[in-house]
């Protein structure tokens, strides 16, 4: 294969990997602090994208620089989803902390359905795919068959920056210390004065904020969003978290890039049409899970979150 074409596929796969990693880290954070799977997470990704779109539409009446618009839609999307994540934790997840795990799965699954259907029903023409505003530079650098778009460079910087910032927050701050303490042993952490409920709410807010960022990056990259986009993104994010090792942030990041690589291979290196790339990727995930049920970076109690 032409090295330039290979580099193009590598860039596209990296872009997908960043989006999937942002979603997967949220799943891992939720599982880390409460041992729960929040199945509304994919729909929170979608809500973040639609919040950004609504904010952009509202700002269209004003003559505002596109860079400022981008900052404002990111802030609004992150604020709305972070608040929603904390509310879901407070009123849906924490009250069921001692209930069977299936109850939490069901209630978050239903919450995701409510979010999705609310957008479909109440957003203007919510059933139809929506064009996402182009707020980033449209130029590109071309090197033969390899094209490096300026907007892709910016989105990669945003995504990678968010992943690095999350790592620093978890590893270097008091909040991160509290999250890691609760993830390792909630009862001991509470006995040592760490506020359990506040830590859980902050963790769910953080994971949901990353979901919003993933939704906005996805919208800017593809220039289109839809009310059901969270179904596939949620499934992929959860699969990526499981591949890497549920409860391990670095495993979630690794899993996101692995899933993107599988999709890229399915799209360009196999003899059948690229429409089957998701089938190939999920099939490969099934084999990986059979080989490594605990994930590639198997969790140890001292490594959680």
DSSP string, 166-193: HHHHHHHSHHHHHHHHHHH-HHHHHHTT
Q: How confident is the model at residue 21 (pLDDT cuts 50, 70, 90)?
A: very high
Structure tokens at 108: 């978050």
Q: How far apart are CA 77 and CA 158, in angstroms?
A: 15
In this prediction, residue 258 carries a pLDDT of 96
Interatomic CA distance for residues 215 and 127, integer angstroms: 17
How crowded is the C-beta side of 21, counted as CA atoms within 13 Å? Answer: 26
Reported as half-sphere exposure (CB side, CA atoms, 13 A), residue 240 has a value of 34
- Are 214 and 41 in contact by the 8 Å Cβ rule? The answer is no
Average pLDDT, the chain: 91
CA end-to-end span of the chain, whole Å?
Answer: 39
SS3 220: helix
Of the ranges 32-46, 112-126, 144-158, 240-254, which one carries the lowest mean pLDDT score? 144-158
Contacts of 42 (CB under 8 A, 6+ apart): 23, 112, 230, 231, 232, 233, 234, 235, 237, 238
Mean pLDDT to the nearest integer, 220-226 = 95
**pLDDT score, position 204:** 97
pLDDT of residue 301: 41
Instruction: Please provide the DSSP assignment of 221-277 as one string.
Output: HHSEE-TTHHHHHHHHHHHHHHHH-TT-HHHHHHHHHHHHHHHHHHHHTSSS-GGGH
> What pLDDT does residue 302 have?
40
More confident site: 46 or 292: 46
How confident is the model over 79-92, as pLDDT tens digits?
999 999 999 999 99
Distance of alpha carbon 109 from alpha carbon 111, whole angstroms: 5
Percent of the chain with pLDDT strictly greater than 70? 95
- pLDDT tops 90 at residue 115: yes
* 241 closest CA partner among 39, 13, 97, 10: 39
For the chain, give every domain's residue range. Answer: 3-303
CATH architecture of 3-303: Orthogonal Bundle (1.10)
pLDDT category, 299, cuts 50, 70, 90?
Answer: low
Contacts for 236-239: CB closer than 8 Å, 24+ residues apart? 236/20, 236/23, 236/281, 237/20, 237/23, 237/24, 237/26, 237/27, 237/41, 237/42, 237/45, 238/24, 238/27, 238/37, 238/39, 238/41, 238/42, 239/282, 239/285
Tell me which of 30-34, 120-124, 231-235 is least confident.
Answer: 30-34
**What is the structure's pLDDT at 209?**
97
Judged against a pLDDT cut of 50, whether residue 303 lies above it is answered with: no
Beta-carbon contacts of 21 under 8 Å, excluding residues fewer than 6 positions away, are 159, 163, 240, 252, 253, 255, 256, 257
CA 205 from centroid of its chain's CA atoms: 13
Say if residue 266's pLDDT is above 90. Answer: no
Tokens matching residue 282? 């999920």
As a whole number of angstroms, the distance between CA 81 and CA 87 comes to 10
């Amino acid at each position: 294969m032409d090295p330039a074409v290979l580099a193009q596929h590598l860039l596209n796969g990296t872009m997908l990997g960043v989006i999937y990693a942002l979603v997967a880290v949220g799943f891992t954070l939720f599982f880390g602090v409460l041992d729960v799977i929040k199945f509304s997470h994919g729909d929170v990704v979608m809500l973040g994208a639609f919040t950004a779109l609504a904010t952009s539409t509202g700002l269209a009446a004003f003559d505002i620089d596109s860079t400022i618009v981008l900052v404002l839609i990111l802030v609004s999307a992150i604020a709305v989803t972070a608040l929603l994540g904390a509310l879901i934790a407070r009123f849906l997840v924490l009250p069921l902390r001692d209930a069977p795990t299936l109850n939490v799965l069901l209630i978050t699954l239903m919450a995701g359905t409510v979010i999705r259907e609310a957008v479909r029903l109440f957003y203007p023409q919510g059933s139809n795919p929506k064009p996402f505003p182009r707020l980033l530079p449209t130029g590109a650098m071309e090197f033969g068959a390899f094209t490096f778009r300026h907007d892709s460079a910016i989105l990669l910087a945003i995504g990678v920056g968010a992943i690095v910032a999350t790592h620093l927050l978890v590893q270097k701050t008091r909040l991160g210390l509290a999250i890691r303490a609760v993830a390792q042993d909630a009862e001991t952490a509470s006995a040592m004065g760490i506020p359990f409920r506040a830590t859980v709410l902050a963790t769910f807010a953080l994971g949901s904020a990353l979901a919003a960022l993933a939704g906005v990056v996805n919208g800017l990259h593809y220039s289109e969003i839809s009310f059901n986009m969270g179904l596939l993104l949620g499934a992929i994010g959860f699969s990526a978290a499981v591949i890497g090792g549920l409860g391990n942030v670095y495993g979630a990041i690794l899993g996101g890039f692995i899933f993107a690589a599988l999709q890229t291979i399915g799209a360009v290196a196999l003899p059948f049409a690229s429409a089957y790339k998701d089938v190939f990727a999920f099939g490969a995930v099934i084999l990986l899970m059979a080989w490594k049920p605990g994930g590639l970076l198997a969790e140890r109690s001292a490594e959680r979150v």
